[in-house]
Amino acid sequence: MNPLEHKLSAEAASFNRRQFLGKCGMGMGGLALAQMMGGLGMLTADTASAQNAMSLNPLAVKPSPLPASAKRVIHLFMNGGPSHVDTFDPKPLLEKYAGKTLPIANLRTERKTGAAMPSPFKFKKYGQSGIEVSDLFPNVAQCIDDICVVRSMHADVPNHEPSLLLMNCGEARLVRPSFGSWVTYGLGSENQNLPGFITMCPGGYPIQESQNWQSGFLPGVYQGTYIDTQYTQIDKLVSYIRNDYESLSEQRRQLDLLLELNQSHLKQRRQDPQLEARIQSFELAYRMQMDAADAFDVNREPKHILDMYGPGTQARQLLIARRLLERGVRFIQVWHGQGQPWDSHDDLKDNHTKLARQCDQGIAALLVDLKQRGMLDDTLVIWGGEFGRTPTVELPTPGSNAGHLNGRDHNNHGFTMWLAGGGVKGGYVHGATDETGFKAADKPVHVHDLHATILRLLGFDHEKFTYRYAGRDFRLTDVYGQVVPEIIA
């Protein structure tokens, strides 16, 4: 028999598109799962069955190996490094030493710092937990009983680039997959019509650019899809999401013909699953055009929701993020803005005030909104920068800062991040910096420890969640990291 004879059988000719789509929608999941034998441990770049499984549907939902309290993650990245002593870690001692040298020597940071600089912001107790928050975040403070404040974070070096890579990829210099890539690889995504890992940053890239959401040695499909949220039109947000040449109904007609041709091609090739997967990818793409447009269009929200998030780019991107989370996107990173906005070497009071005003209302709205939709329970919200700032004033360094003597330098020795939802203990403060705020002193939590803990919340043992590459089993936490059980509710 000549396999090239393209003859449509009676069955194929009477093929009904809806039936087929129904079959695909169900069929693919089962098919992919069947290929997923052995689970994660077997998935490596180099083994054949893993390749088959990944190629058929790399974003198919995969169960976590351990029970998980968090199903999805949103990481609010305050890039540049917000000052912890001005936001979530009050240090009255700085008042006492205002303008004077601290009783302990200043730790080495990127630049020289001098005397103690008291916070220009007032702290107040909030909620039942009575956790103190500064007046920079009055709205977030209202949610404090849902928030776990980790005041004893520490990282390795006081420079942006390595600290960003450490926070995002668990390694400061070498090329490693980002956190979001690991999670998307491990869990897949619950919405096949949208990318599983989305990273939003208005106005352009943060520094270190797309390395912050790189997939490293994992397949490229697990890399974060970057979206510039300064734009509002859908085709500027997602590449090739809209056809500018024909109407949707014309395109549907094209895809119907494509399906017919592919279907007869498939029938002559014994239903090869890779052919079937590609057929389905066109149907997914077609639906993605509508779903993505819908997901990114915040104007479909009712007025009271729009009002709750407030005006501005931050509010809009946070609301987009919620809509994406709702649609099953696995990992979302929301960056404050291009470059390093929170990097207040000078004029900290004005700059931090401006930045916090841009995002406080939106972040609080996100927490409230997730909670009222019942999503906060299994959505992990992470807030923080790549490090904090010194409790001491940055000294003038000509050419580097304006020398106003009213800002703070980078501080990797101690800083604050907070977590909410996803099974973390709300209304709880974990650890502490020393009384000056310079250094994590009580129950220090390294970035690797944070990663280990977050992976645990998502249902992974960070020591067992590995990927074989170049002869080694790699982990997000490399050879470090300890789960911090106190953070987990």
Partner 1 sequence: MSGMWKLSISLAATFLACHLGRTAQAADPAPPTKEGLDFFEAKIRPVLVQQCYECHSEVKKKIKGKLRVDDLASLLKGGESGKPSIVPGDPDKSLLITAIVYEDKDTDSHDALLMPPPKNGKPRKLPANVINNFKQWIKMGAPYPRAAHAQASPADPKQHWAFVSPREPAIPQVKQTSWARNAIDRFVLAKLEAQNLHPSNPADKRTLIRRATFDLTGLPPTDAQVRAFEADSSADAYANVIDRLLASKHYGERWGRYWLDVARYSDTKGYVFEEERRYPYSYTYRDWVINALNDDLPYDQFLIDQIAADRLDLKGDNSALAAEGFLTLGRRFLNNQSDIIDDRIDVLCRGTMAMTVGCARCHDHKFDPIPQKDYYALYAVFNNSPESKDLPLIGKPGNTPGFKQFTEELARKEQGATKYARDRFAEHLALLRTSAQIAGYMMSTRSAQVSDAGPVKPARTAKADAITPFMTARWKSYLNNHSSPTDSIFAAWNAYAAIPESDFAARSADVTANVVVGENLNPLIHEAFETTPPASLREVAERYGKAIAACDASDDREYPQEEELRNVLRSPISPTSVSFEERTRVFTVQEGQRERTLHREIEAFKVTDPGAPPRAMALQDSPSRAPQNIFLRGNPGNPGPLVKPAFLTALSPSDEKPFAKGSGRLELAEHIASKENPLTARVMVNRIWMHHFGKGLVRTPSDFGLRSDPPTHPELLDYLAMRFMEGNWSIKNIHRLIMLSATYQQSSDTDESVARSDPDNMLISHFNRQRLDWEATRDALLEVSGRLDPAMGGRSVEVLDSSRRTVYGFIDRQNLPGVFRAFDFASPDATSAQRFTTTVPQQALFLMNSPFAVREAKELMKRPEIAQAVEPSERINRMYALAYQRQPTADELASGLKFVSSETSSKRLNLWEQYAQVLLESNEFVFVD
Amino acid at 284: L
* Near partner 1 in 149-168, by CB under 8 A: 161
Q: Are 103 and 93 in contact (CB under 8 A)?
A: no
Q: Environment class of residue 37 by beta-carbon count within 10 Å: exposed (0-12), middle (13-18) or buried (19+)?
A: exposed
* Near partner 1 in 431-460, by CB under 8 A: 456, 459
> CB 236 → partner 1: shortest distance, Å?
13
Residues 180, 213: Cα–Cα separation, whole Å? 7
* Binding test (CB under 8 A) with partner 1, winner from 98, 104, 175, 290: 175
> CB 28 → partner 1: shortest distance, Å?
10
Residues 421, 73: Cα–Cα separation, whole Å? 10
* Near partner 1 in 279-338, by CB under 8 A: 279-282, 284-286, 288-289
Residues 231, 245: Cα–Cα separation, whole Å? 22
Nearer to partner 1, 100 or 269 (CB): 269
- Give the Å distances, CA to CA, from 375 to 115, 422, 425: 45, 9, 16
> CB 48 → partner 1: shortest distance, Å?
5
Stretch in the footprint of partner 1 (CB under 8 A) among 246-254, 323-331, 333-341, 405-413: 246-254
Q: Is 245 a binder of partner 1 (CB under 8 A)?
A: yes
What count of other Cβ atoms lies within 10 Å of the Cβ of residue 153?
Answer: 29
* Binding test (CB under 8 A) with partner 1, winner from 173, 252, 354, 373: 173
Q: Which of 424, 339, 448 is nearest to 78 (CA)?
A: 339
Nearer to partner 1, 309 or 465 (CB): 465
Residues 151, 138: Cα–Cα separation, whole Å? 18
> CB 326 → partner 1: shortest distance, Å?
20
* Near partner 1 in 176-235, by CB under 8 A: 192-193, 195, 205, 208-211, 215-217, 219-221, 223, 225-226
Total residues at interface with partner 1 (CB under 8 A): 100
Nearer to partner 1, 59 or 487 (CB): 59
Q: Is 248 a binder of partner 1 (CB under 8 A)?
A: no
* Binding test (CB under 8 A) with partner 1, winner from 135, 260, 301, 378: 260
Q: Is 105 a binder of partner 1 (CB under 8 A)?
A: no
> CB 293 → partner 1: shortest distance, Å?
13
What count of other Cβ atoms lies within 10 Å of the Cβ of residue 33?
Answer: 16
Q: Are 198 and 330 in contact (CB under 8 A)?
A: no
Nearer to partner 1, 39 or 130 (CB): 39
Stretch in the footprint of partner 1 (CB under 8 A) among 44-52, 97-105, 358-366, 428-436: 44-52
Q: Is 52 a binder of partner 1 (CB under 8 A)?
A: yes
- Tell me the sheet residues that pair with 339: 206
> CB 55 → partner 1: shortest distance, Å?
4
* Binding test (CB under 8 A) with partner 1, winner from 232, 254, 338, 353: 254
Stretch in the footprint of partner 1 (CB under 8 A) among 99-107, 251-259, 328-336, 425-433: 251-259
Distance from chain centroid for Cα 441? 28
* Binding test (CB under 8 A) with partner 1, winner from 18, 128, 374, 471: 471
Q: Are 166 and 155 in contact (CB under 8 A)?
A: yes
Helices (H), 134-207: 138-141, 160-169, 179-187
Q: Are 200 and 332 in contact (CB under 8 A)?
A: yes
Q: Are 138 and 104 in contact (CB under 8 A)?
A: no
SS3 at position 103: coil
Distance from chain centroid for Cα 370? 16
* Binding test (CB under 8 A) with partner 1, winner from 16, 18, 174, 374: 174
Q: Is 270 a binder of partner 1 (CB under 8 A)?
A: yes
Residues 87, 267: Cα–Cα separation, whole Å? 63
* Near partner 1 in 2-21, by CB under 8 A: 2-8, 13
- Give the Å distances, CA to CA, from 474 to 177, 223, 320, 461: 10, 17, 33, 13
* Binding test (CB under 8 A) with partner 1, winner from 129, 230, 232, 262: 262
Stretch in the footprint of partner 1 (CB under 8 A) among 14-22, 43-51, 148-156, 385-393: 43-51
